[in-house]
Amino acid sequence: MDVALKIWRYDSRTGERKLEEFEVDAPEWACLLDVLDIIKDKHDGTLAYRKSCRMMICGSCGMRMDGRAVLACKERMQPIAEAGHVPVISAMGNLPIVKDLVVDMGPFWNKIRSVKPWLDPGYDEVTEKERIVSQQQMNAIQKESLCIMCGCCVSECNSMEADPAFLGPAALAKGFRFVGDPREGNQVERLVAYNDEHGIWDCTRCYFCNERCPKGVDPRDAIAKLGAESIEQGIDHDMGAKHAKWFVTSAKTTGWLRETELVPKTQGILSAVKQTGFALGLARKGKVPPPFPPHVADRVKEARALHDLVGQQGRGGADGIIQMERALARAEHGEAEGAHRVSPEVTPGVQPPVAEG
Amino acid sequence: MRAAIEAHDSGADVALLSKIHPVRSHSGAAEGGINAALGNASEDDPDKHTFDTVKGSDYLGDQDAIEILCYEAPEDVYQLENWGAVFSRTEDGRIAQRPFGAAGEPRTAYAADITGHVLVHVLYEQVMKRDIPAYEEFFAWKLVVDDDRCQGVIAWDLVNGGLKTIGAKTVVLATGGAGRLYVGTTNAYACTGDGMALALRAGVPLKDMEMMQFHPTTLSPTGILITEGCRGEGAYLLNSEGERFLKDYAPNAMELASRDVISRAEQTEIDEGRGIDGSVLLDLRHLGAERIIERLHGTRELSMTYALIDPIHEPIPVRPGAHYHMGGVDTDVWGQTELTGLYAVGECACVSTHGANRLGGNALMETITYGRRVGQHAADWALTHTTVAVPESQQTDAERELEALLDRSKGERPWAIRDELATTMHENFGVFRREDQMKKQGKIVEKLRERFENVVVEDKGTLFNNDVTQALELGFLLDLAECMIPAGIERKESRGAHARPHDYPDRDDENFLKHTLTRLVDGKVELDWKPVNITKYPPQERTY
């Protein structure tokens, strides 16, 4: 089949940047990576991109197709070629480009390192036996364990675009991989660290990371779980945490979001007082209801029931929150009614026993 | 990485050097599992593991090396679990183990069907914890050999360009296999046998290079690996008539016979017209959706992406593909090569634990157990010996050689040579081997070598220039083909992966219960032999 591509070429030494079009003959089964290989072999040996396993496990070939992060080895070209579309291929976002489709992964790995990405059981290694942990407990970190560190989520992260220091979806998913591990001994310390500035509450919940992750890791879900776990552990000093908490309290008590109380509850009284003028202005235009008497929704019982239901889901309601947050549940096989996986409770600090015999 | 961790923990100053980032290593693509006699799923012990491995190797494995592997494996698996490896679990919360081909007991510990991925990442976590420096995207091109010692490597810096010499008292090669010698392979693009070729060029012999394992279930047409775990979970192999054809080849073990046995059975079915478009079918449907999703999620993802087939509803088309090199750099049980200071481990080495045929699940185990041993020995050696200054002339010579390659502007680019090598190796040095075909292949490789001498690199720059490294990789592959062919021709018997049904259909213990050794002497490959170490298990007939 004939496949046409446009590729953004770039040279970080000269700053030269140009869009080049290529047309090649490729087999029907070709993925984007196969097409790039044909271009490099037969058309332009100077084209730079990374590759290795060509089976979605090594994480080398993250790049953008039509502005969307993909693994080149995962994107079949036949439907695109048949539709007569000429996709634009470019390097991943949020990372400095070295050459053509190759980015500098240094900043990516620095963030991974900053979440202390290794199991810290809090006691010396025992190598005589494994620890006893149920499959159900291990399932808590099943998705996060799938991460191949390709950088697609980081490429797409809107929050990181605004704040390059944001830890970002990959590092935080890695963080949850340890917080959620029943063998981990430092869950609380980790949660405190991930609650710092540029931490979990900087996520804007745009869901691009979930959507673009080629492995189904769902980094935003991991961030939501870290948030729920933090509040469960009483780590709620961040405005983001207070904001989330007040949303819940407000919805539970009156079935509505009480905006007038949101600012003092989130930012504190002092900050709220400073914004009184702004609030009065809003009130005059009828944009906020008067704080007293509290306006209670007609069907507040339903809101409360929903709150209770969510709270019953695994990990202190985290799974429930994720289900609520999902605009569209993935139509995965056997998950027709949306995500139903219930994670088990893990009690921080309680270590699993070592196997006997 | 396992060797680096152990060397670090033994007190040595150690660094990793890799042409791709360490987590991109092809070990991550190993799906099925890692073998250790933990006894979590049955009564098992290291002796049974040893026997299965010896038998699986068609008695070409060195039994002392196999015993070390099987006895030390359980503790190494527990350590991986302690480091955080996300193993699948039994009902009572221990590490789960599944049956694997040619294993007498369910011995393969696993993490769903992403065991390699999980282990690569847990090792890299430990590397980060120890802050072991890594020269990422450094392409090792030459070993520095002086004073009869290996003293480091000369590497091409991919990102910034230029050759850099990295001096070291000991160098451990852990570069994996050379599956890219074949057009149908499970191996990554990175698997170009670099370490084997480096050792060969330094005068170190390679052992049993004719022994290339063909994995029976690689996805058509791309060659992507479909794990043996599928058969471990109970999948069937069917021919075009819908028969479980293994009843005619391995009536007892059926789909769980050894890999070489199944690959030959498949190839026979295909050759005799009972295949479907050059493939047979791997049927998972009777396992049910739930089990497929829970334990073979990755397999389903691969087959849906690359063959547009959902194994819950349709069987997967599979065929044999080049998978694993049992042969490699000749080492002792501490990974030492003939050259002082040079070690090798994993697929690029040949201790030999796999002999003529490797059992599924033993490769990951070898990388871990022997990785630890090599790391320890290399560190001990380095800590008790003094540094010798690396002579600058070696880098100057290498620079001159590379310049000659980069300056050449008229001639052929490498890809056609690479593709022809891979296609002809598959045709003439594949699952079944014939004397005339192997000799023909020798001539073909000779011609390809002549063409390679005048090869042209299009990218002349120094910024992420992997056009030049891909040319150098082809040079490595040609070297290895030149070792495999004479070893294959001279092994006049059928043993394990080396099957000669037309002229020497039987194993010949009297004449060939020995390893081939190939080494470069004055630019020519010379063949030699080396005895097999037999401790407990005298050779028997091998049936499944």
Nearest to B179 by CA among B22, B278, B327, B400: B327
Q: Which residue has the tokens 């074949």?
A: B182
Please tell me what DSSP assigns to residue B176. Answer: -
Check whether B176 has a pLDDT greater than 90.
Answer: yes
Cβ atoms within 10 A of the Cβ of B424, count? 21
Alpha-carbon gap: B501 to the closest alpha carbon of chain A (Å): 33
Q: For B213-322, which CATH class?
A: alpha beta
Which residue does chain B place closest to A74, by CA atoms? B305
Spell out the alpha helix ranges (H) of chain A: 32-38, 78-82, 106-114, 135-138, 152-156, 158-162, 168-179, 187-194, 208-212, 219-232, 239-254, 259-267, 269-274, 276-284, 300-312, 318-325
Alpha-carbon gap: B92 to the closest alpha carbon of chain A (Å): 7
Per-residue pLDDT, A241: 86
Spell out the alpha helix ranges (H) of B453-514: 466-490, 509-512
CA atoms of A313 and A307, how far apart (whole Å): 10
CA atoms of B220 and B186, how far apart (whole Å): 11
Which residue does chain A place closest to B457, by CA atoms? A45
Per-residue pLDDT, B488: 98
Which ipTM score applies to this complex?
0.95
For range B51-75, the mean pLDDT = 97
Which residue does chain A place closest to B416, by CA atoms? A41
Beta strands in A26-80 (DSSP E): 62-65, 68-71
Alpha-carbon gap: A134 to the closest alpha carbon of chain B (Å): 4
For range B219-234, the mean pLDDT = 91
Task: Kindly list the domain boundaries of chain B, sorted by start residue.
Answer: 1-211+326-544, 213-322
Structure token pair of residue B85: 């490896």
Contact A118 B126 (CB under 8 A): yes
Nearest to B296 by CA among B7, B3, B8, B33: B33
Confirm or reject contact between A51 and chain B (CB < 8 A).
yes
Among A56, A102, A104, beta carbon nearest to B305: A56
pLDDT tens track for B410-467: 999 999 999 999 999 999 999 999 999 999 999 999 999 999 999 999 999 999 999 9
pLDDT mean across residues, chain B: 96
**Residues of A whose CB is below 8 A from B93:** 132-135, 352, 355
CATH superfamily of A2-103: Beta-grasp domain (3.10.20.30)
CATH of B1-211+326-544, one of 3.30.450.40, 3.40.50.720, 3.50.50.60, 3.40.50.300: 3.50.50.60
Per-residue pLDDT, A288: 75
Per-residue pLDDT, A151: 98
Per-residue pLDDT, A346: 55
Q: Point out which residues pair with B149 in neighbouring strands.
A: B146, B340
Per-residue burial over B428-454, b = 16 or more CB atoms within 10 Å of its CB, e = otherwise: bbbbbbeeebbebbbebbeebbeebee
One-letter identity of residue A216 = G
pLDDT tens track for B350-394: 999 999 999 999 999 999 999 999 999 999 999 999 987 888 899
Per-residue pLDDT, A96: 97
Spell out the alpha helix ranges (H) of B245-356: 259-271, 289-295, 297-306
Domains A2-103 and A105-258+294-352 equal at CATH topology level: no
Alpha-carbon gap: A57 to the closest alpha carbon of chain B (Å): 6
Taking 50 as the pLDDT cut, the residues of chain A under it are 327-345
Contact B118 A148 (CB under 8 A): no
Give the predicted TM-score (pTM) of the model: 0.93
Confirm or reject contact between A339 and chain B (CB < 8 A).
no
> How large is the angle between the packed helices A219-232 and A168-179, nearest 10 degrees?
50
Contact B458 A113 (CB under 8 A): no
Straight-line distance from the first to the last Cα atom of chain B, in angstroms, rounded to the nearest whole number: 36
Instruction: Count contacts between A and B (CB, < 8 Å).
Output: 163
Among B81, B121, B189, beta carbon nearest to A51: B189
pLDDT tens track for B266-307: 999 999 999 999 999 999 999 999 999 988 988 999 999 999
Contact in structure between A152 and A61 (CB atoms under 8 Å): no
CA atoms of A146 and B13, how far apart (whole Å): 32
Find the helix or strand (DSSP H, E) in which B119 lies: helix B115-130
pLDDT tier for residue B27 given thresholds of 50, 70 and 90: very high
One-letter identity of residue B77 = V
Question: A105-258+294-352 — its CATH code?
Answer: 1.10.1060.10
Contact B84 A149 (CB under 8 A): no
Among A29, A46, A131, beta carbon nearest to B459: A46
Q: Which residues of B are identified as catalytic?
A: 259
Contact in structure between B427 and B437 (CB atoms under 8 Å): yes
Nearest to B461 by CA among A99, A20, A18, A89: A99
Among B25, B28, B81, beta carbon nearest to A131: B81
Contact in structure between B217 and B231 (CB atoms under 8 Å): yes
Task: Kindly list the domain boundaries of chain A, sorted by start residue.
Answer: 2-103, 105-258+294-352
